[in-house]
Chain A
Amino acid sequence: GQNIDQPTEMTATEGAIVQINCTYQTSGFNGLFWYQQHAGEAPTFLSYNVLDGLEEKGRFSSFLSRSKGYSYLLLKELQMKDSASYLCAVKDSNYQLIWGAGTKLIIKP
C-alpha cells in the first residue's frame, strides 16, 4: 500500500528553527509537495521537490532524498503565524496526490 508518515505534532519557539520530516512509500514518484493548512482553511502551496537536494524559498526550505523516500521542511525564524498544520504529499505513478495526515506545529512565544 501507499503510505506517507509525518509526526503528528511538534512544538517550537518563536524565532527558532524547526524541521518537519516526511517519509513515504508510494507506487512510483513524480514529485513531493509541502502545503501549509490553517484550521478550517484549504491548504496553501509551499514547495515542490522532484530532484534530490534542497530547495530554498525565503524562510522555508524543503529537502528530498528519493533513494531514502525522505523529505523535510525546514522553517527558519519562526513566527507566531507559522502555527498551522504542514502536509506532505507525493504524486505517485498515476500522478495522483497521496497525502500525509499533516504535522500540527505549535509556536510558543
Chain B
Amino acid sequence: GAVVSQHPSRVICKSGTSVKIECRSLDFQATTMFWYRQFPKKSLMLMATSNEGSKATYEQGVEKDKFLINHASLTLSTLTVTSAHPEDSSFYICSAPPIAGHTEAFFGQGTRLTVV
C-alpha cells in the first residue's frame, strides 16, 4: 500500500523560531498534498493544499506568510511554521489523495508541535 512518511513526530520549539515539517510519499508520486491541523477533541481542519510545481492553495483564514508550504518534488511536501507562537501548538497532519485502486487518502503519522 501507499505510505506517507511525516517527520518529525514531535517537536518543541521556542516562540519566535521556525519549524519545518516534512511529508514524503515513499512508494508513489504525490502531485498534491493536503495539510491539516487538529486541536484537541476537534476535527481535522484543512489548512492548505500543496501542488507540485505551483503555488499552494490556502484555506480562508490561514496566513500564507506564517505557514509556508512548498512542494519541492513529486515525493516531498513541506510545511514551515514561521515565527511560531504558543497558539500554533497543535497536531499537524499531511495527507495524499487516493491513488489508483484506492478510495481512501493516505495520512502521514502526524507532528505534535509544542511552542514554549
Q: Taking the complex as formed, is A99 at the interface, i.e. its CB lies under 8 A from any CB of chain B?
A: yes
**Which B residues are CB-close (under 8 A) to A87?**
43-44
Least CB distance from B45 to A in Å reads 8
Give a binary string over A3-42; 1 marks a CB under 8 Å from any B CB, 0 the rest: 0100010000000000000000000000101000000111
Overall SS of chain B's interface: loop
**Quick one: which of B91, B103, B105 contacts A40, CB cutoff 8 A?**
B91
Would A42 and B104 count as touching, CB distance under 8 A?
Answer: no
Stretch at the interface among A59-67, A76-84, A100-108: A100-108
Q: Taking the complex as formed, is A43 at the interface, i.e. its CB lies under 8 A from any CB of chain B?
A: yes
CB < 8 Å A-B pair total: 41
Contact count band on B: 10 to 19
**Quick one: which of A4, A40, A45, A102 contacts B104, CB cutoff 8 A?**
A45
Would B44 and A104 count as touching, CB distance under 8 A?
Answer: no
Q: Taking the complex as formed, is A93 at the interface, i.e. its CB lies under 8 A from any CB of chain B?
A: no
Q: Taking the complex as formed, is A48 at the interface, i.e. its CB lies under 8 A from any CB of chain B?
A: yes
Least CB distance from A46 to B in Å reads 9
Q: Taking the complex as formed, is A75 at the interface, i.e. its CB lies under 8 A from any CB of chain B?
A: no
Would B43 and A102 count as touching, CB distance under 8 A?
Answer: yes
| Distance of A97 Cα from B35 Cα, bound (Å) | 12
Knowing A41-B110, A101-B43, the reply to whether A48 touches B93 (Cβ < 8 A) is no
- Which B29-86 residues have C-beta < 8 A from chain A? 34, 41-46
Least CB distance from B90 to A in Å reads 12
Knowing A99-B44, A101-B42, the reply to whether A42 touches B93 (Cβ < 8 A) is yes
Would B107 and A42 count as touching, CB distance under 8 A?
Answer: yes
Least CB distance from A7 to B in Å reads 13
Would A40 and B43 count as touching, CB distance under 8 A?
Answer: no
Give a binary string over B90-114; 1 marks a CB under 8 Å from any A CB, 0 the rest: 0101000000000111011110100
If A42-B6, A45-B104, A101-B42 are given as contacts, then 9 extra A-B residue pairs at C-beta distance below 8 Å, sorted by A number, are A8-B41, A42-B93, A43-B93, A89-B44, A96-B46, A97-B34, A97-B46, A99-B45, A102-B41
